Structure 1
Amino acid sequence: MQIDFTPDPRLYPFQSRWFDGSRGRLHYLDEGDGPPILLCHGNPTWSFLYRDIIVALRDRFRCIAPDYLGFGLSERPAGFGYKIDEHAQVVGEFVDHLGLDGYLTMGQDWGGPISMAVAVERAERVRGVVLGNTWFWPADTFSTKAFSRVMSSPPMQYAVLHRNFFVERLIPAGTRDRPSAAVMEHYRAVQPSAEARKGVAEMPKQILAAHPLLARLAREVPAKLGAKPALFVWGMKDFAFRPGPTLPRMRTAFPDHVVVELPDAKHFIQEDAPDRISAAIIERFG
């Protein structure tokens, strides 16, 4: 299944590109020149989430932003399971296809575990790490486990698949100011049907189901990437990844780190504080 939607060039002033991988056709952006930075989104977003950051960075960095299979403008291939290890395999294949070397890697929400799973396999090619409002270890709080169980239940799976719950409810709840009608339409239009939302519906299940991968990342990220320079850009009003329990683990994993607090930002930091994030990346890695 391919998504039939043309983004508004005033909001998304980029050239769409395509990678025909072993599991399906991946849509991505490749904008600007300079050191490469891989921008990994979470749920239920797509490369559109990074639009303002790309505009701010592309005169200094080569900004590469894929849409995972099942998200954004990428294909929804028959037989694809939308599990986190599968997404990481596809993104890894994509990184190898582009021949990225000396690259920065940024992840938010599920983009954290996916970007880290790709990076630990290619540690010698990673220049530095940017993480925001994310994690890379097994779910260990009551609220996180409960969210996974509730969202995996038949009534909530129905809401996600048939009422577009993640887009209609969680994006407004996870942003400081409700996004404009035009922005909301760009999140809505790439998830037009239950069939198109299978990837979105699977991700909350994966919080618990991806335990083996997350347990491996909890060991391998500090071991293989811990010496890299890191930047943490953190929405301090996030309900999902509260700074108190999460940031100390990030600091421990990456001793050479800088923390930039985004005091008013909630979960979708790229919507709430793109200018602050871009400036922090330039200051740390520019």
Structure 2
Amino acid sequence: MIQSGETFSGTFPFAPHFTEARGFRMHYVDEGPRDGEVVLCLHGEPTWGYLFRHLITSLSATHRVVVPDHMGFGKSETPADRSYWLQDHIDNIEAFVLALDLTGITLVMHDFGGPTGMGLAARHPDRIRRIISVNGPTSFGQADAVDRLVANASVSPWFQWILKAEGEGILESVLGQLGYNILSTLKLNGFENNEIITDSFIHAYAAPFARPADCLAAIGWAKGFATQAHRFETPNAVAVSTIRGKPAMALWGDADRTLHAEHFLPLFSELFPAAPIHLLPGAGHYSFEDSPEAINRLISQFLRET
């Protein structure tokens, strides 16, 4: 776990906040006016709130930007006696939102932040104001969601590696050293802008995984896919009807090698047939790193227009 006051050479200058709503110390950023519209940013594997640092700066003058680190990621605690499946992360985010009593939420979701955020939306649709998917699957009861995940895995180097490593019994040992191989893991998943690689950048993403005991969440997310332990939240008819009526937008790095647009954008379009989709040219899976200016502009415009 990273020290609470660590700023990584000033690149993450936001005050740390913590809650123990789910029985572990969960870190979050809470920037902007208290009475501003809430923008809740949910990260995925193996990142943390650092991924949203440019968006926080861009929006916090006018919006309340809340960015939690999932259990076992970033500055949050990694308890040894917990499981790290998708349903656990949904439970944690639900407790977090209720503890802070967040309403009128604009969800900004990346990677497994997508199914986590959609799980929250299934349980509390009336707390959601807008949906923004950025290279994050919007699984929401679609019958073919699992089929699309399987089809994507056949062409994704990251998911192919997970299945191979699990089959060979080395998944835990390799990801247990994530602090040392973080750059190769990020590159396998895919970002394209190598100019952003600095000592501070590498330290920020490696620091949460200093020891094998710190890597349980990263291992859990990968192992949950390999063993089919993750469970998508199933919305009821009221939740589906409510969420379908919300303003929504998808942004997708078109060079994403981990979550291919052809497999996952149809999930979004099925749920939000009239919603805009913006492909980000040359941006990889970590599109917040590759195209921060374009993402900031598109999200700011979307917030103004809706």
Q: Same fold (TM over 0.5)?
A: yes
Q: 1:220 to 1:248 in 2, by over 3 A?
A: farther
Structure 2 Cα separation of the partners of residues 13 and 265 of structure 1 = 25
Q: 1:86 to 1:71 in 2, by over 3 A?
A: same
**AA matched with 1:188:** A
Q: 1:163 to 1:58 in 2, by over 3 A?
A: closer
- 1:190 paired to 2:192: no
1:149 aligns with: 163
2:184 aligns with: 169
Residues 89-238 of structure 1: pairs in structure 2 closer than 5 A: 89-135=91-137, 136=139, 137-138=145-146, 139-141=149-151, 142-143=153-154, 146-153=160-167, 154-164=169-179, 167-173=182-188, 174-178=190-194, 179-209=197-227, 213-214=231-232, 216=234, 222-238=240-256
Secondary structure in 2 matching 1:205:
helix
Residues 65-104 of structure 1: pairs in structure 2 closer than 5 A: 65-104=67-106
**AA matched with 1:149:** L
Structure 1 Cα separation of the partners of residues 62 and 165 of structure 2 = 40
Residues 41-52 of structure 1: pairs in structure 2 closer than 5 A: 41-52=43-54
Q: 1:3 to 1:181 in 2, by over 3 A?
A: closer
2:142 aligns with: none
Deviation track 1:210-252 (CA, whole Å, cap 9, x = no partner) reads 5672273699975552221111010000001222222122111
Q: 1:8 to 1:211 in 2, by over 3 A?
A: closer
- Whether the 8 Å CA contact 1:227–1:256 is kept in 2: the answer is no
- Whether the 8 Å CA contact 1:37–1:106 is kept in 2: the answer is yes
Q: 237-246 or 44-53, which moves further after superposition? A: 237-246
**AA matched with 1:21:** A
- Whether the 8 Å CA contact 1:148–1:204 is kept in 2: the answer is yes
Q: 1:39 to 1:61 in 2, by over 3 A?
A: same
User: Offset of 1:257 from its aligned partner?
Assistant: 0.9
Structure 1 Cα separation of the partners of residues 229 and 239 of structure 2 = 15
**AA matched with 1:13:** P
User: Offset of 1:88 from its aligned partner?
Assistant: 0.9
**AA matched with 1:177:** N
Which ranges in structure 1 are unaligned for 5 or more consecutive residues? none
Q: 7-16 or 117-126, which moves further after superposition? A: 7-16
TM-score (norm 1): 0.91
- Whether the 8 Å CA contact 2:280–2:291 is kept in 1: the answer is yes
Structure 2 Cα separation of the partners of residues 38 and 230 of structure 1 = 14
TM-score (norm 2): 0.86
- Whether the 8 Å CA contact 1:116–1:221 is kept in 2: the answer is no
2:288 aligns with: 270
